[in-house]
A and B are shown apart, each in its own frame.
Chain A
Amino acid sequence: MSEDKFNGFLDGEFGEEVLDETTKNDVKLYFEALKVFRMRYDYKPSAKLEEKIMHRFMKPRRILWEIAMGVAVVAAAFYITFNLVPRRNVEPAVQESKVVSEVFDYLSLVKLVGDGF
């Protein structure tokens, strides 16, 4: 096949009579392929098939939505439990400083091992 002649023919530079037999066949194959290509890309599915395909995409989206809703509900429940519902204070109400406990421990020990002053 002469590629220059093939392209020149398609561009309308010269007529079919200039082409040799091989190029003519190629041109014919090209038009056949173009026809199939057009048929393929101009295809429009039926409304039923379109709905079926769209439904296939919508279903996972709904599952994601339900999961997101579930996470939000759990987060809200945690927030209410730990921030809004009154709970018992587990920290010791009375704080003893280090200096106080050291004095107490020391005096207790001296009292224990000694018998007075």
Chain B
Amino acid sequence: MRRTLFLVAIVLVTSFVLAQSFVELYLNASYFGRRIVVEKGPTNKSRIEMVYRWPNDKIVHVLDPVFLVWARRSGLFIMGQPNNYRNSPLEILDLEDLFIKQLREQGITKLEKIDKKYKVMVESPSGLFTAFITEDGLPEKIVRVFNNVTTELVYEHVEVLKESFEEVAQRYGIKSAEETVNLPNEIKLILSTVNWYTVSRLKIGEEQVVMIIANHKSGSVIKMVFSSKDVTVNIEQNEQLLRIKGKDYYLYVIAQDQAILEQVKSLLSKER
């Protein structure tokens, strides 16, 4: 009995050490890959991309549905097209970034070894992540299931990357951008408290406005109406409205939960 327990303990410790080693390999890996991202749910979307990934930096060349390059360098984000890059006020996170974020915050929920690769599962408030990673620490597939939306990132080719960020950046004409996209700071701050959002155009009277519907990290829905002029925003009985006047715009924040609206007010007042 004692021997059996000892063997089980050895197997567990070995598995844990191996798991740690391949996770470390994966987190510190530099690789180039071609990949496809498919999102299935109420709305479907797909992308074809080439990615250059270093432990902390990344360059993603989106080939379809739009030709676009975005890069992360020392925590700063740049996006655009060669010779026309602008700083992105918002973080741009792909499924892999979100998986790594949750892996670091939540840890591995379940680990399986299948042939020469590992199946890693991470349960998080942002959804259930399942990743397939090779023994060498290279990714094969990452899947997230959240609120009936399945997002799947499949690498069709991955190879170790020997080039530096600077070398690849030079090829794409990426330099430190001088201009930043104009995004009201209030929207940026509020979006930092949400998991995802949808954006659409809406007409209020004669004014064209932007409607943002976001899923707050608490689980409740938060809406924003962005307009260049003061407009009348109608709300439901159970909703609360916060009107913000900016330099050349108006922002209306609508939340069902009073506590969330207070959080938003507090967040915005801290930044002013």
Contacts and interface: CB of A to CB of B under 8 A. Distances in A.
A117 B182 contact: no
Interface string A50-90: 00000000000000000000000000000000000000000
A103 B184 contact: yes
8 contacts: A102-B182, A103-B183, A109-B79, A112-B45, A113-B70, A115-B39, A115-B95, A115-B153
Interface string B173-210: 00000000111100100011011111101010011111
Nearest to B99: A115
Given A109-B79, A117-B196, A100 B226 contact: yes
B221 to A, nearest CB: 15
Given A94-B206, A99-B249, A114 B93 contact: yes
B182 A96 contact: no
B183 A109 contact: no
B126 interface: yes
Contacts of A22: none
B88 interface: yes
A94 B93 contact: no
Interface of B: 37, 39, 45, 47, 60, 62, 65-66, 68, 70, 79, 88, 90-95, 97-98, 126, 144, 151, 153, 181-184, 187, 191-192, 194-199, 201, 203, 206-210, 212, 226-229, 248-249
A116 B192 CA distance: 10
Contact of A109 (B66, B98, B151): B66
B68 A99 contact: no
Interface residues of A, number: 22
Contacts of A28: none
Contacts of A49: none
B43 to A, nearest CB: 10
Nearest to B60: A113
Given A100-B210, A115-B151, A117-B93, 5 more contacts: A103-B226, A106-B183, A110-B92, A113-B66, A115-B95
Contacts of A95: 206-208
A103 B144 CA distance: 28
Nearest to B191: A117
A25 interface: no
B206 A93 contact: yes
B203 A115 contact: no
A111 to B, nearest CB: 6
A46 interface: no
Contact of B68 (A100, A107, A113): A113
Contact of B194 (A104, A106, A117): A117
A104 B94 contact: no
A2 interface: no
Contacts of A112: 45, 47, 65-66
Contact of A100 (B60, B181, B227): B227
Contacts of A102: 181-182
A110 B249 contact: no
Nearest to A105: B181
Contact of A107 (B62, B70, B210): B210
Contacts of A93: 206
